[in-house]
Amino acid sequence: MVRRLTGRVLFLLFAALLCAAPAFAQYNRVDVSLNGGAIFSKQTEGNNVTQTTTNGGAFLLTARLRFDSHSAVEFNYGRAGNSQLYAVPGFDFRVQSKISEYNAAYVYSPIETRNIEPYLLGGIGGLKFNPSYEYINGFQQTVTAVEQTQLAFLYGGGVDYRVFTKIRYVEKLPYVSHFAVRLQYSGFIYRPPNFHQAELVTTGHGHIAEITLGLVFKF
């Protein structure tokens, strides 16, 4: 139910952004970014289960539309990979999984100069955990874990910096002023996945920290 509801809401938001894009673009208020980085997660405990994760790489694609000098809305799609580790009395359970990220967020930019723009963001979306390998007490098993999507709340911030306009010779290239480098931190608060396995259910809340660096093109 959560997966279907989250998917519908994000689809409607993304469709609205695409329809509005031509109107915003004439005011140079549209940007897209391609980012890479890493994810880090905290340990979660509850229901006699201790859940941890390995760190992993991340990829993030963002489309952002600005309404005025301070406010914007963005849609994000990301992919990451790590292993979910569960310590349960009697055995250790490990699920290697791919994580797909879908979310929409409000973005607030307090100031913007010719070269730099810091911002804060907050939103909601989903994290889809897709298992690929499964281990019990270190031995690979037939995968019984089932794909699962968890509702996630997003917060974070970052900065766009038009560094290329500062590089000699590069600054003279066409459209160089439309490019920027983006450094961003995103935090996700969610329920850790249990892959529909009753013995892996934890009552705690999980947290993923995502740090990315990427290239932005501003229309």
Query: What is the residue type of 43?
Result: Q
Per-residue pLDDT band at 203 (split at 50, 70, 90) = confident
Q: Return the pLDDT at 26.
A: 45
Residue 20 pLDDT greater than 90, yes or no? no
Residue-wise pLDDT for 82-141, tens only, equals: 999 999 988 899 999 999 999 999 999 999 888 999 999 999 999 999 999 999 999 998
Indicate the pTM of the whole model. Answer: 0.84
Indicate the burial class of 147 (C-beta count within 10 angstroms; 0-12, 13-18, 19 or more).
middle
Q: How far apart are CA 60 and CA 190, in angstroms?
A: 19
Per-residue pLDDT band at 23 (split at 50, 70, 90) = very low
Instruction: Say whether 201 sits in a helix, a strand or coil.
Output: coil
Mean pLDDT of 154-180: 90
Instruction: Say whether 173 sits in a helix, a strand or coil.
Output: coil
Residue 15 pLDDT greater than 60, yes or no? no
Residue-wise pLDDT for 35-73, tens only, equals: 999 999 999 999 999 999 999 999 999 999 999 889 999
Mean pLDDT of 130-159: 94
Contacts of 209 (CB under 8 A, 6+ apart): 39, 40, 41, 185, 186, 187
DSSP 92: E
Query: What is the residue type of 189?
Result: I
Q: How far apart are CA 84 and CA 127, in angstroms?
A: 14
Is the separation of the CB atoms in 129 and 2 below 8 Å?
Answer: no
One of 2.40.160.20, 1.10.1740.10, 3.90.870.10, 1.10.3430.10 is the CATH number of 2-218, namely: 2.40.160.20
CA–CA distances in Å: residue 88 to residues 45, 80, 136, 215: 11, 25, 11, 42
Domain spans in the chain, listed from the N-terminal domain onward: 2-218
Per-residue pLDDT band at 24 (split at 50, 70, 90) = very low
Contacts of 155 (CB under 8 A, 6+ apart): 121, 122, 186, 187, 189
Residue-wise pLDDT for 173-193, tens only, equals: 888 889 999 999 999 999 999
